[in-house]
Amino acid sequence: MSNHAMGFAETHSPSSEFDQLMELFGGSKVLKRRLSSPIDAHDMILKGIPSAALEVFVTHLTIIDPSDAFEKGLGMSERTFQRHKADRTGTLSPEQSSRAWSFARVLARAAAVFGSQEQAEKWMIQPAIGLDRRRPIDLLATAAGRELVQEFLGRIHYGVYT
C-alpha cells in the first residue's frame, strides 16, 4: 500500500500522528469538536479551523522562525495572523485552514520520523539533498511542494535519503 493510501493509519509511536495533529491545535477543547478520523478533519477544515487553534499551533513552534511559519507554512502574513489572534471567536478560511492543517501534518510526520518535534523543526529549516537542496519549509508554499516533502519523509523513514 502506498504512503498516500495509508495516510493517518500508520503509527510510529504510542500516539498516532493524527493525535499529534490534534494536540498541535490544542485538542478538541480548542478545536471545539472531537475529531476521530481524517474525514472529521476534512469537515472541520471546510468550516474553518478556529483562530484560537492557529494561535496554539504557532506557540508549539520553537525553532522555526515565525516569518517562515507564516509565509511559507501557513501562506499568510504576520499581520493576518495578528488579526486572527485578536478575533479568538473567528475561524480561518477553508484555504487557510487547509494550509495550517497540511503544515501541522508535515510537522507531525517529520517528528515521527526524526523522533521529536525539535528535530523535525531543525530538519524543516535546513536544505535537504533529496529535495534539490531546498529547505522543506520553503516547499510547503504549494500542494506539489507539500507532496514532495511528505514523499521525502517516507523515503527517510524507510532509509532512502536521496
| CB contact at 8 A, 102 and 140 | yes
Model confidence at 11: pLDDT above 80: no
The residues with which 62 forms a beta bridge, in sequence order, are none
Q: In this structure, is the dihedral angle defined by the CA atoms of residues 52, 55, 61 and 67, taken in order, positive or negative?
A: positive
What CA–CA distance (Å, rounded) separates 75 from 144?
14
Which pLDDT score is estimated for 31?
A: 92
| CB contact at 8 A, 109 and 153 | yes
Residues 131-139, mean pLDDT to the nearest whole number: 94
Model confidence at 37: pLDDT above 90: no
Residues 98-118, mean pLDDT to the nearest whole number: 93
What CA–CA distance (Å, rounded) separates 117 from 125?
13
Model confidence at 8: pLDDT above 50: no
What lies within 8 Å, CB to CB, of 83 at 6+ separation is none
Confidence class for position 38, pLDDT limits 50, 70, 90: confident
Neighbours of 112 (CB within 10 A): 21
Which pLDDT score is estimated for 19?
A: 84
3 vs 93, more confident: 93
What CA–CA distance (Å, rounded) separates 97 from 134?
25
Q: Please give the angle made by the CA atoms of 98, 146 and 62, to the nearest 5 degrees.
A: 80
Rg (CA), the chain: 15
Domain ranges, ordered by start, for the chain: 13-157
User: Model pTM?
Assistant: 0.83
pLDDT tens digits, 65-79: 888 888 888 888 888
Which pLDDT score is estimated for 162?
A: 58
107 vs 18, more confident: 107
Which pLDDT score is estimated for 70?
A: 85
The residues with which 134 forms a beta bridge, in sequence order, are 128
Model confidence at 3: pLDDT above 50: no
12 is written with which cell numbers? Answer: 510510529
Which pLDDT score is estimated for 159?
A: 82
